[in-house]
């Protein structure tokens, strides 16, 4: 009897250690808050972004979060957030990028003052497409100058524009 009690205790301690190590290993890369609309809105409202972007992100008068993309763009093993903000008056007016350090979401980059932009992710890059308005074009409905495209990537600890090009009429 004396030998079976220590063996059972050792087995229990080993099983507990495996559970703790497994839980720690699987949850370590994730941020404390999930990538969600609520996290995106909360992050935008708590930021120093322009008030019009905050109001539109809150979802008033037909505006709100246009798109939420959850993907690791910083190659740190954690999902990051790309959020585009829609305004009823001008379409997508802004997009923001949140990193996911272990302590929670951190606003790391933003583009504001856009008009009818399209934002998406391809691989580890954020792509933005903006209509080009010529003099005399009615805004925001009728651009005639083609489209300007931008590609952004996380390099050396910050989001940087790595490419820009124009398609359509110049």
Model confidence, pTM: 0.78
Write the DSSP assignment of the chain as a string of letters: -TTHHHHHHHHHHHHHHHHHHHHHHHHTTS-SS-SSHHHHHHHHHTS-S-HHHHHHHHT-TT-EEEEEEEE--SSSSS-EEEEEEEETTTEEEEEEEEE--TTS-EEEEEE-S-SS-EEEEETTEEEEEEE-PPTTPPTTT---S-EEEEEEEEETTEEEEEEEEEES--
pLDDT digits (tens, 9 = 90+) for 50-75: 999 999 999 988 899 999 999 999 99
Domain ranges of the chain: 1-30, 37-167
pLDDT digits (tens, 9 = 90+) for 119-155: 999 999 999 999 999 999 998 888 999 999 999 999 9
């Amino acid at each position: 009897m004396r030998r079976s009690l220590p063996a059972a205790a050792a087995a229990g301690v080993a099983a507990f250690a495996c559970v703790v190590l497994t839980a720690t290993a699987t949850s370590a890369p994730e941020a404390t808050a999930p990538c969600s609309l609520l996290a995106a809105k909360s992050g935008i409202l708590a930021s120093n972004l322009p008030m019009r972007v905050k109001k539109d992100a809150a979802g008033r008068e037909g505006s709100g979060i246009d798109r939420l993309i959850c993907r690791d763009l910083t190659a740190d093993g954690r999902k990051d957030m790309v959020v585009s903000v829609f305004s009823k008056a001008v379409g997508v007016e802004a997009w923001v990028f949140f990193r996911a350090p272990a302590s929670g979401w951190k606003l790391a980059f933003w583009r504001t003052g856009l008009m009818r932009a399209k934002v998406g992710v391809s691989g580890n890059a954020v792509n933005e497409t903006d209509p080009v308005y010529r003099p005399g074009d009615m805004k925001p409905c009728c651009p005639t100058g083609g489209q300007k495209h931008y590609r952004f990537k996380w390099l050396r600890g910050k989001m940087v524009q790595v490419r820009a090009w124009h398609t359509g009429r110049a």
